[in-house]
Amino acid sequence: MATPIQLCVVAVSFSLLASWAASAPLPSGVAGQSLDLALEGGAKIGADEELKADALALDGQPGTYARCPAPEGWGRLRNFRVDVKARIDQYRAGSVPFGWPGSFLIYISGHGMPWVLLETDQGRIMLAGTEPVPPTRWLDIAFEYRADDICLLWVNKRSVASLHGRGPLKRGGKELWLGRYTYKDEKTGKEDTSWMKGAVAMPRVQVLPDDDRFKLDTTNLANALGVSWGDAIVVNKGWRMLNKPEHAKPLVAECQRMGVKKVFLRCDHEFIMNFCERRMPDDHWYMKAIKAVEGDMMAEIIKECHAAGIKVYAYQSIFDCGSPTTYLYGGNTPYIWQSKFTIAHPEYLVESRDGKERQWGVLCYACPEARQYIISVFKNALAKWPFDGLYICTRSHSKRAEFADQFGYNAPIAEEFKRRHGVDIRTQDFSKPQWWDLQGEYLTQLLREFRQEFRDKEIHIAIPRSDYIGPPFGNMRLDWRTWCQEKLVNGLVLGVNSGAFHYPNSLNRPGYVQSAQDNLAMRPLDFDLGQWFGPVCKAAGVELYLQRSSLASDADRDLLKHPGMKGFMLGL
């Protein structure tokens, strides 16, 4: 029988500076105050010769960490900065130099990657650097969080990542921890704890004024901004709801602040209201949001953007035509809209090999009728509003395929494959790569027809940062080189994925050859921009954008050095 380990708890004085702005709704009496730390296990405090200051030494053994009570009055943090000096002597999963469990943590992964984990009412934010921190060296790690603006992570005074803020953080627990991370496995419910091996010094928390915004350097930037208007009117607050004419000017001001020259304005509401069967009563939350809109906000946004020299593009997905109510969105909610076209013509949806199943919402563009239909959706938007061009998105809310090659066996594809290769893909063994290429040819044909229809408009297309469409669809080849070389598109936006969160059990579905959401067979970002996509785009005169939630870090700006890079596609 194992002998229980007796932990020795020693209370010592350690300088933990908590500096608050005078306007913060938190007590200012703790400013500059040294708080008593309880040292657990083998934790020790002593002078560090390199720092010339006291440091907390952590031996990495179970039970070794330090803790202190969270100051009285601490609530939900909105705008604040956290700094800490840390030395990571051994990479291990979950090294946490400093954190307030349940609210924020500075986290070093088992691969040495710096992270910040933030808990908000909208879920956890995970802000991650892309390069490992050097072991056994003292590091300056810091992050700033602004609830209504952005969050930034610094390592040695270089900002390595940025994201949008998502409102105030949740209140943490009763204690602050240094050197300990406890996490819960969502599948098993089991809790596990990791212990940091290294040292910590000079932790500091500073509250920032509520009206403080990060000063963005937009010199020589030509970014794009994706505005999902149908989401904005439902979930956003203040001017970001974009449901009143006076909201258009603040949007333009935000564009100017972020170096935005193009706005991709989503037209899903137009599609849902005029092209779909709606299953929403008048008191439904979406219908209420639509009725609360004052005037023609699409026209108002376009007018104000044009006055500021900002182009606006009609934003619509080409793989998002809705589903029957038997398909539960998110695994629990009946679908509330579906394209009338796919209700009348389910034969134009992608089909399984045995012909018994369809992937609802996903059109098969080997069918000329499907191509004509989706072009008509864009024609409607451009006839109604003075858009400068099209933003063709490949995201979807459709239910994911159970495996990568489940769909794509429609008659036009099967017949053309047999004509070329003498094989029936529905009954015989066949070359999967040839089939993937053929599916991609029909997407290219769709773009040719878009170009023919909209000769005088700019066309931008958003795809995953890969050569295959990936989840939730399949392995259809993305022939982006041909799109660029034939001038079918004016801009290529990389990094757009449907997201595994739409449905349960969507990660790591079998059979994919490349998947950004699963980090499967992905090339390094610098290689993709510098040697894969970038040179082709530059040679063809196609603008290259990379999707980013926010742009503020030095690491982001460094990516602009690559050939063809025009800027970033940001979110509102």
Question: By the 8 A CB rule, do 413 and 366 touch?
Answer: yes
If you classify domain 11-207 with CATH, what class do you get? mainly beta
State residue 34's pLDDT score. 59
pLDDT value at 418 more than 60: yes
pLDDT value at 6 more than 50: no
Distance of alpha carbon 494 from alpha carbon 477, whole angstroms: 15
Of the pLDDT bands very low, low, confident and very high (cuts 50, 70, 90), residue 164 is: confident
Question: By the 8 A CB rule, do 389 and 311 touch?
Answer: yes
State residue 188's pLDDT score. 75
Render pLDDT for 264-275 as a digit per residue (tens, 0 to 9).
999 999 999 999
pLDDT value at 176 more than 80: yes
* SS3 at position 332: coil
Element (H, E) at 527: helix 525-527
Architecture per CATH, 223-571: Alpha-Beta Barrel (3.20)
pLDDT value at 105 more than 50: yes
Give the burial string for 234-246 (b: 16+ CB within 10 Å, else e).
bebeebbbbbebe
State residue 416's pLDDT score. 99
| CA-closest candidate to residue 275, choices 320, 227, 325 | 320
Give the residue with greater pLDDT, 2 vs 92.
92
Token couple for 378: 């864009």
For the chain, first and last CA: distance in Å? 58
Distance of alpha carbon 296 from alpha carbon 359, whole angstroms: 34
Residue type for position 229:
W
Render pLDDT for 230-252 as a digit per residue (tens, 0 to 9).
999 998 889 999 999 999 999 99
Question: By the 8 A CB rule, do 107 and 94 touch?
Answer: yes
Question: By the 8 A CB rule, do 568 and 224 touch?
Answer: yes
Share of the chain above pLDDT 90, in %: 73
Of the pLDDT bands very low, low, confident and very high (cuts 50, 70, 90), residue 183 is: confident
pLDDT value at 12 more than 60: no
Question: By the 8 A CB rule, do 359 and 399 touch?
Answer: yes
State residue 122's pLDDT score. 83
pTM (predicted TM-score): 0.84
DSSP β-ladder status, 150-155 and 158-164: antiparallel
Mean pLDDT of the chain: 90
pLDDT value at 5 more than 90: no
Element (H, E) at 272: helix 268-275
Instruction: Give the number of other Cβ atoms within 10 Å of residue 148's Cβ.
Output: 17
pLDDT value at 19 more than 90: no
pLDDT value at 17 more than 50: no
Distance of alpha carbon 83 from alpha carbon 154, whole angstroms: 9
Of the pLDDT bands very low, low, confident and very high (cuts 50, 70, 90), residue 186 is: low
Q: Where are the domains of the chain?
A: 11-207, 223-571
Element (H, E) at 158: strand 158-164
Instruction: Please give the angle made by the CA atoms of 298, 302 and 303, to the nearest 5 degrees.
Output: 115
Render pLDDT for 274-325 as a digit per residue (tens, 0 to 9).
999 999 999 999 999 999 999 999 999 999 999 999 999 999 999 999 999 9
State residue 18's pLDDT score. 38
Render pLDDT for 137-158 as a digit per residue (tens, 0 to 9).
999 999 999 998 889 999 999 9
Question: By the 8 A CB rule, do 33 and 73 touch?
Answer: no
Token couple for 76: 């939900």
Give the residue with greater pLDDT, 249 vs 202.
249
223 contacts: CB under 8 Å, gap ≥ 6: 258, 259, 260, 261, 262, 545, 551, 567, 568, 569, 570
State residue 35's pLDDT score. 59
Question: By the 8 A CB rule, do 359 and 291 touch?
Answer: no
Mean pLDDT throughout 412-439?
Answer: 98
pLDDT value at 571 more than 60: yes
Render pLDDT for 508-551 as a digit per residue (tens, 0 to 9).
899 999 998 888 999 999 999 999 999 999 999 999 999 987 77
Mean pLDDT throughout 217-230?
Answer: 90
Could you give the residue ranges of the DSSP H alpha helices within 7-148?
none
Give the residue with greater pLDDT, 314 vs 53.
314
Token couple for 239: 């001017």
Query: At which residue do the structure tokens 């209700």 appear?
Result: 343
Give the residue with greater pLDDT, 499 vs 311.
311
Mean pLDDT throughout 324-338?
Answer: 87
Element (H, E) at 414: helix 411-421
Give the residue with greater pLDDT, 129 vs 16.
129
| 257 backbone dihedrals φ, ψ, rounded to 5° | -65, -35
State residue 556's pLDDT score. 85
| CA-closest candidate to residue 473, choices 425, 372, 405, 522 | 405
Render pLDDT for 446-488 as a digit per residue (tens, 0 to 9).
999 999 999 999 999 999 999 999 999 999 999 999 999 999 9
State residue 7's pLDDT score. 29
pLDDT value at 11 more than 60: no
